[in-house]
Structure 1
Amino acid sequence: MSDARRFVVRIVALLTAILGVNYVAWRWLFSVNWDAWWIAVPLVLAETYSLIDSLLFGMTVWKLKGRGEPPVPEPDLTVDVFIATYNEPLELVLDTARAAQRITYPHRTWILDDGNRAELRARAEAEGIGWITRSADWTDMPRHAKAGNLNNALLATEGEFLLILDADMVPKPEILDRTLGYFRDERMGLVQTPQYFVNVPDHDPLGSQAPLFYGPIQEGKDGWNAAFFCGSNAVIRREALMQLGVSRYAGEVEVGVHRALRTARSVIGQARKDLAPDQVEVRQALDEIDYDIARARRDLDRGEALFDVTYRFQKRVAATRRELVGADLRSLNEDLAIIAGLDRLADDPDLSLATIDESALLQLADREWSPLGAVETVEALVRSIDVDLGGEAQPVMPMATISVTEDMATCMRLHGLGWRSAYHDEILAEGLAPEDLQTMLTQRLRWAQGTVQVMFRENPLVQKGLTLAQRLMYFATMWTYLSGFAALVYIAAPIAYLTLGVLPVQALSTDFFVRLVPFLLVNQLLFFVVADGRPTWRGQQYSLALFPVWIRSFTSAFGNVFLGRSLDFAVTPKEKREDTGLRWDLVKPQLVAMGLLVLALVIGGVRLALGEASPFGTIFNMVWVVFDLVVFSVIIQAVRYRGFEPAASTGTTSTGTTSTGTTTDGAAVARPSDEGAA
């Protein structure tokens, strides 16, 4: 990248930030129409959201990093090529595997078959291709989709480096020669290359190609050492992944131990409150447990080894439990003696209740057979200190399992451990994009859900080990998926004015336009200079047009993370669906929005003709509505799209910067394909 282009990008980014902050600050301080707060406040909040989005995008492209020619790889490195699959067509998977076998750098090719298909195994082995499926350890255990598939394969292979491919991503022979050289840097953990789809027409009606993301955005993130792992077409150092797996395992155990110790004292304290005065031995035993808890916490605070502390603690608790059982047995014998007396009373009419101590009867009625559940409490406490993570198929899980998409969380954790990443901007694998609207919507929803899950579970803004820039780079991607809520406001505001005459700003004054128009123009100029000839309009359209998907991703991920609701994982079909006609039902919310926008145009025109509306305000909002309708027009194209039909003579480029995904306004998002998971 030339210094001149980088300088221009920074100047425009700086101007965008200054004009945007000036506009939004003025809006909050002087322009909100509080009399119509129900639309005025949401609008200024939406504008604030867009400003933050723009600022994050400007920061992303501030350090554009073009790496140029890659370093030559070292000889004799060992590489495993992983092709993740679940239910994709056999020929598609085998075509990818055969292409992987033709990679020139020495390696071993593996098909990771999460569908455990006997025919695929037989055909793969017949062609000398490795085949791996889940081990028996995964039976009746959480499977964790593609992440689980990869984690299983990691423990079954030994290569120093891993090339990860989706089942449809056909690699070029030079892919390893063009990427392994970056690992001469001993702290380089990951090298990502673009994703490019060969079955996408030039007009790209489904927004499959993402030239802005797999280009300036990844290059910008690379400048901040935050280039993302995108699920496929990436090479990863095994050492980095295994270090991540071990550290996460130790961290999860330590968190569990601390949590158990923090809550144990209150549990023991409650048990002591319910003891009878004569249960001296039980009270002493619980006091010993309480002391052992405090001692274990002090040992951990002093930095003693976690496993040493937990081992000593478990032994002490086991000894105390034996004492509790002994006390319980002695108490039980006393109770049995009382019962024996009652039996004699029933069998011998010469005996009377007067011969049985009344206090003994009361004691029998009030007692529990196990002293107040103390034994169970102690045993539960011991079980909570579980260093084996028995609820998982394998304790070490290098690939993150907190999301339906494993890539972002894994990469963020690697960066948190101090590993570096690189983005190599050259198409080295070519895949297949969805060819119908339903498949595309399913794919986009899953990507968005996975990203929002990560935001809720491991918000990058508070993650240890990340630099401030890295935190913002990850947060920028997550932030863009909140755009669905802002889109609702941008649709509603002009409708409210044209139909009801409600203006969310104090006035459409000169002050308003002098601040707004320059900001909008310079913001678009920023996209233009950053794109450097790449098309960006389709991505901007889908940022607004898929607002129902973005909203659903947020609400469903929230329900999954905080309310425990299930979040189904759907593998994107690699075969074209049968033609079932025009699926307008898939875009009902967008069609309703378009209908309301058209209705608003008509009502606004009528009100203008009757002299009931300001000409200037009406024209301004009509232009706004027309712009929204132009954006939504992509939905019409998507519904009518019948799939890719190659021209009579076609070819695919072997190098370049075009690739796949979706982009959004501001920090523009692209999510990788992550098929090949159960």
Structure 2
Amino acid sequence: MATTPPADGSVGSTRNPESEPSSSGRTLLIRAIVLVTAVLGLNYIVWRWLYSINWDAWWIAIPLVLAETYSLIDSLLFGFTVWKLKKRRAPEAPAGLTVDVFITTYNEPLDLVLTTARAAKNIRYPHKTWILDDGNRAEVRAAAEAEGIGWITRSADWKDMPRHAKAGNLNNALMSTDGEFLVILDADQIPDPLLLDKTLGYFTNEKMALVQTPQVFINVPESDPLGSQAPLFYGPIQQGKDGWNAAFFCGSNAIIRREALMQLGVTRYVTEIELALHKALKTSDKVIAKAKKTLGPGNERVSEALDLVAKDLRRVRRRLRNGDGISEVTYEFQQRVAAVTRSLVAADIAAFHEDLASLADLDIEGLDAGLQDASASTPGLAVVDDNALDQLAQRSWSPLAAIDAVRVLIESVNADRSGEAQAVMPMATISVTEDMATCMRLHALGWETAYHHEKLADGLAPEDLNSMLTQRLRWAQGTIQVMFRENPWAQKGLTLAQKLMYWATMWSYLSGFAAVVYLAAPIIYLLFGILPVNSISTEFFVRLIPFLLVNQLLFVVVGKGVKTWRGQQYSLALFPVWIRSITSAFGNVYLGRSLDFAVTPKTLQQDKQLRWDLVKPQLWAMGLLVVATIVGIIRLAMGEADLLGTSVNIVWVIFDLVIFSVIIEAVRYRGYEHYQADIAKAKARQDASR
């Protein structure tokens, strides 16, 4: 490997698990446990809905049963994912393929970028290595040239245009290179020399668009206090998704077929232009209809003009259905509308200017710019701004104003996408994380993906809590943006299984709301004695406990020795991050609010100062849990509480506090170097005491 794994063994072996024979017995065991989990879970949740809700306390009883239903669905989605675990053996890499290795960077330290670039240059299979420097730094360019490594930054076409973060950086590089295959590496992901030898063989399948390999980090202690390693995802979950042809692109450590990306870019370009035109046509119909309603007697000539435009709109639709070119159809339509406009009286022209000028933030010149493309909340899409369309459709129009507004609407569908640096954007730009949306679009076009379960790069994880929270928030925001903008259930071309696989990942980020309920329920009972269930009976335990045990057994069997506890802790402990990701993504997509983007720092950002301020919601939750426990014990001692109910809820509180203890550890964590120094000191003290 290019970098030696740490001695504590946190990274694990580099041998290829795919060389191990697949166990049909283990597969049958997993499926049996999945079925039992489903039966027990459904048995419990149906009973909860039908017989156990305390309707006198519906305000907590209903949220709790909804949270439990959410958790059951989450469990079923996981079971469906691992139903078809796929173990692959890569074919031998064919000779003669051309490959570009892309190392994306913005503001990472120069030595870090060069370490990755040198390792990339040393990849054994013939290729070209490029540093994609989105920061346009002279020192990076000079160092790259000195190393004989290619350097690419944004072209002049990107000046004053939407940047689209990493997706824009990659899209720019795609137009400057010509390799048949691309390797995408983040600046901190040091590749193994055999990366291409181990993965290019998959592309002998001409339908294969992408091969993803794991992301494993070398600067993480065995205890993994920040939850950086994701052995369950980069293992059983990705293998399970792979079984359904839904292995995810994860932004780095992936190999992609250029042909697939370029086909995607062209297809999306055409689709988005068509979408924009159809929206413009729909709004045009409404504008013309409203204008006709304002006509009084004696306006037959104007009425005929409006009818002619409406007839032309129908002709445009018909020609588009017949496959005629968009540019030709819209140009001819604009010429006919111009002729109609010239035939009307000059007085109406003056009225049009006065009417249109009264629109807030819209004028004749500004309308062209305002309707050419999506709003800032949906950068990069050639679609008409829905807010502007609503304004236009609801406005009371004079006849000539209506006709000219229709002309401007159709002209706003600009086939050259003048509001973008480049017309074709292969990497999706609808999200702050480009990977999921791009992969889902490739699947919708019929391409295949694969997950190669072998560590072929050594990465660097965030070194402090603030950096980790920044990273997790961006991941979650990007996923939720995709859910809002291109929900998998609405995507044609995806199989049902693929839709479920994408939805399962999106669904997981809703856990923040369920976590709030799971925290509130025991607190409310211990403080006020209010139960969300009719009673804590034997039937309650008989239905719930077997489900919980079998569900945990599924993780144990699927993980096959993989430690999943840290991931389970953070799925609950980061509930404020998950909630914020949803609210901020909603504000961005539907309200046009800015969504801050920050590159995850690759070096330690805090040293001595402990950032308790970053986890205030969790600390408040822990404080309330402790206070509630004390009050519950006092109420029990005074005979105001039930022993069984109090005991069950105290156990629940203890479980929550154990979960949240990871936050304390995360705040106190001072980075991997400090961890190693502490280990060395402890070892020295141990040796001295002998």
TM range, smaller chain: 0.7 to 0.9
Q: Measure, in 1, the Cα distance between the counterparts of 2:49 and 2:185.
A: 48
Which residue does the alignment assign to 1:362?
none
Q: Measure, in 1, the Cα distance between the counterparts of 2:349 and 2:80.
A: 72
Which residue does the alignment assign to 2:512?
484
Provide the secondary structure at the position in 2 that maps to 1:576: coil
Asked if residue 238 in structure 1 is aligned to residue 266 in structure 2, the reply is no
Asked if residue 629 in structure 1 is aligned to residue 650 in structure 2, the reply is no
- Please tell me whether the aligned partners of residues 348 and 400 of structure 2 are also in contact (alpha carbons under 8 angstroms): no
- TM-score, reference length from structure 2: 0.86
Which residue does the alignment assign to 2:324?
305
CA-CA distance at 1:320 after TM superposition: 3.6
CA-CA distance at 1:139 after TM superposition: 1.2
Q: Kindly provide the CA deviation profile for residues 475-519 of structure 1, in whole angstroms up to 9, marking residues without a partner as x.
A: 000000000000011111111111111111111111100000000
CA-CA distance at 1:322 after TM superposition: 3.7
Q: Kindly provide the CA deviation profile for residues 15-47 of structure 1, in whole angstroms up to 9, marking residues without a partner as x.
A: 111100000000000000101111111110000
Please say which structure displays the higher CA radius of gyration: 1
Asked if residue 74 in structure 1 is aligned to residue 78 in structure 2, the reply is no
- Please tell me whether the aligned partners of residues 334 and 411 of structure 2 are also in contact (alpha carbons under 8 angstroms): no
Provide the secondary structure at the position in 1 that maps to 2:102: strand
Q: Measure, in 2, the Cα distance between the counterparts of 1:526 and 1:506.
A: 30
CA-CA distance at 1:647 after TM superposition: 4.4
Which residue does the alignment assign to 1:18?
39
Query: Quick one: which of 584, 596, 600 aligns to 2:624?
Result: 596
Residues 332 and 625 (structure 1 numbering): CA distance in 2 closer, same or farther, change over 3 Å? Answer: closer
Output the amino acid matched with 1:48. T
- Please tell me whether the aligned partners of residues 103 and 130 of structure 2 are also in contact (alpha carbons under 8 angstroms): yes
Output the amino acid matched with 1:5. R
Output the amino acid matched with 2:444. G
Which residue does the alignment assign to 1:448?
476
Which residue does the alignment assign to 2:134?
114
Q: Which has the higher contact order (CA 8 A, sep 6+)?
A: 1
- Please tell me whether the aligned partners of residues 210 and 249 of structure 2 are also in contact (alpha carbons under 8 angstroms): yes
- Please tell me whether the aligned partners of residues 316 and 333 of structure 2 are also in contact (alpha carbons under 8 angstroms): no
Asked if residue 614 in structure 1 is aligned to residue 642 in structure 2, the reply is yes
Which residue does the alignment assign to 1:264?
284
Asked if residue 325 in structure 1 is aligned to residue 342 in structure 2, the reply is yes
Residues 377 and 648 (structure 1 numbering): CA distance in 2 closer, same or farther, change over 3 Å? Answer: closer
Residues 501 and 323 (structure 1 numbering): CA distance in 2 closer, same or farther, change over 3 Å? Answer: closer
Q: Measure, in 1, the Cα distance between the counterparts of 2:465 and 2:51.
A: 44
Which residue does the alignment assign to 2:86?
65
Residues 498 and 320 (structure 1 numbering): CA distance in 2 closer, same or farther, change over 3 Å? Answer: closer
CA-CA distance at 1:136 after TM superposition: 1.2
Q: Measure, in 1, the Cα distance between the counterparts of 2:478 and 2:98.
A: 32
Which residue does the alignment assign to 1:34?
55
Which residue does the alignment assign to 1:220?
240
- Please tell me whether the aligned partners of residues 464 and 606 of structure 2 are also in contact (alpha carbons under 8 angstroms): no
Output the amino acid matched with 1:304. G
Q: Measure, in 1, the Cα distance between the counterparts of 2:406 and 2:514.
A: 52
Which residue does the alignment assign to 2:177?
157
Q: Measure, in 2, the Cα distance between the counterparts of 1:265 and 1:414.
A: 34
Query: Quick one: which of 76, 83, 104 aligns to 1:84?
Result: 104
Output the amino acid matched with 2:407. E
Matches within 5 A, 1:425-440: 425-440=453-468
Shifted more, 569-578 versus 469-478: the winner is 569-578
Q: Measure, in 2, the Cα distance between the counterparts of 1:151 and 1:175.
A: 23
Matches within 5 A, 1:115-514: 115-274=135-294, 282-301=302-321, 303-307=322-326, 310-325=327-342, 327-328=344-345, 372-373=400-401, 376-514=404-542
Q: Kindly provide the CA deviation profile for residues 408-444 of structure 1, in whole angstroms up to 9, marking residues without a partner as x.
A: 0100110000000100000001111011111111111
Residues 40 and 455 (structure 1 numbering): CA distance in 2 closer, same or farther, change over 3 Å? Answer: same
% identical equivalent positions = 69
Shifted more, 268-277 versus 525-534: the winner is 268-277
- Please tell me whether the aligned partners of residues 194 and 428 of structure 1 are also in contact (alpha carbons under 8 angstroms): yes
- Please tell me whether the aligned partners of residues 305 and 340 of structure 2 are also in contact (alpha carbons under 8 angstroms): yes
Which residue does the alignment assign to 1:537?
565
Output the amino acid matched with 1:58. G
Provide the secondary structure at the position in 2 that maps to 1:541: helix
Output the amino acid matched with 2:341. L
Output the amino acid matched with 2:87. G
CA-CA distance at 1:580 after TM superposition: 4.8
Which residue does the alignment assign to 2:65?
44
CA-CA distance at 1:283 after TM superposition: 4.3
Q: Measure, in 1, the Cα distance between the counterparts of 2:295 and 2:60.
A: 61
Q: Kindly provide the CA deviation profile for residues 642-669 of structure 1, in whole angstroms up to 9, marking residues without a partner as x.
A: 100274899xxxxxxxxxxxxxxxxxxx
Provide the secondary structure at the position in 2 that maps to 1:57: helix
Residues 329 and 555 (structure 1 numbering): CA distance in 2 closer, same or farther, change over 3 Å? Answer: closer
Q: What's the Cα RMSD here? A: 1.9
Shifted more, 125-134 versus 103-112: the winner is 125-134
Q: Measure, in 1, the Cα distance between the counterparts of 2:585 and 2:311.
A: 42
- Please tell me whether the aligned partners of residues 292 and 313 of structure 1 are also in contact (alpha carbons under 8 angstroms): no
Provide the secondary structure at the position in 2 that maps to 1:109: strand
Q: Kindly provide the CA deviation profile for residues 79-105 of structure 1, in whole angstroms up to 9, marking residues without a partner as x.
A: 000111101011111111110000000
CA-CA distance at 1:278 after TM superposition: 6.0
- Please tell me whether the aligned partners of residues 288 and 403 of structure 2 are also in contact (alpha carbons under 8 angstroms): no
Q: Kindly provide the CA deviation profile for residues 594-634 of structure 1, in whole angstroms up to 9, marking residues without a partner as x.
A: 00111111111111112221111111111110010001000
Structure 2: state its 5+ residue gaps.
Answer: 1-21, 351-397, 680-690
Q: Measure, in 2, the Cα distance between the counterparts of 1:325 and 1:500.
A: 76
CA-CA distance at 1:314 after TM superposition: 2.2
Output the amino acid matched with 2:324. A
Structure 1: state its 5+ residue gaps.
Answer: 334-369, 651-678
Q: Measure, in 2, the Cα distance between the counterparts of 1:615 and 1:378.
A: 73
- Please tell me whether the aligned partners of residues 344 and 400 of structure 2 are also in contact (alpha carbons under 8 angstroms): no
- Please tell me whether the aligned partners of residues 188 and 460 of structure 2 are also in contact (alpha carbons under 8 angstroms): yes
CA-CA distance at 1:60 after TM superposition: 0.4
Which residue does the alignment assign to 2:379?
none
- Please tell me whether the aligned partners of residues 317 and 378 of structure 1 are also in contact (alpha carbons under 8 angstroms): no
CA-CA distance at 1:323 after TM superposition: 4.6
Output the amino acid matched with 1:324. T
Q: Measure, in 2, the Cα distance between the counterparts of 1:580 and 1:376.
A: 65
Asked if residue 2 in structure 1 is aligned to residue 23 in structure 2, the reply is yes
Provide the secondary structure at the position in 1 that maps to 2:672: coil
CA-CA distance at 1:258 after TM superposition: 1.3
Asked if residue 524 in structure 1 is aligned to residue 544 in structure 2, the reply is no
Output the amino acid matched with 1:28. W
CA-CA distance at 1:382 after TM superposition: 3.2
- TM-score, reference length from structure 1: 0.87
Residues 29 and 327 (structure 1 numbering): CA distance in 2 closer, same or farther, change over 3 Å? Answer: closer
Q: Measure, in 1, the Cα distance between the counterparts of 2:530 and 2:42.
A: 25
Output the amino acid matched with 2:637. A
Q: Measure, in 2, the Cα distance between the counterparts of 1:554 and 1:607.
A: 38
Residues 371 and 325 (structure 1 numbering): CA distance in 2 closer, same or farther, change over 3 Å? Answer: farther
Which residue does the alignment assign to 1:653?
none
Q: Measure, in 1, the Cα distance between the counterparts of 2:566 and 2:128.
A: 39
Residues 283 and 228 (structure 1 numbering): CA distance in 2 closer, same or farther, change over 3 Å? Answer: same
Shifted more, 457-466 versus 226-235: the winner is 457-466
Output the amino acid matched with 1:317. Q
Q: Measure, in 1, the Cα distance between the counterparts of 2:402 and 2:436.
A: 45
Shifted more, 291-300 versus 30-39: the winner is 291-300
Aligned length: 610
Provide the secondary structure at the position in 2 that maps to 1:179: helix
- Please tell me whether the aligned partners of residues 314 and 382 of structure 1 are also in contact (alpha carbons under 8 angstroms): no
CA-CA distance at 1:271 after TM superposition: 3.3
Q: Kindly provide the CA deviation profile for residues 517-558 of structure 1, in whole angstroms up to 9, marking residues without a partner as x.
A: 000000110110011001000000001100110111111111
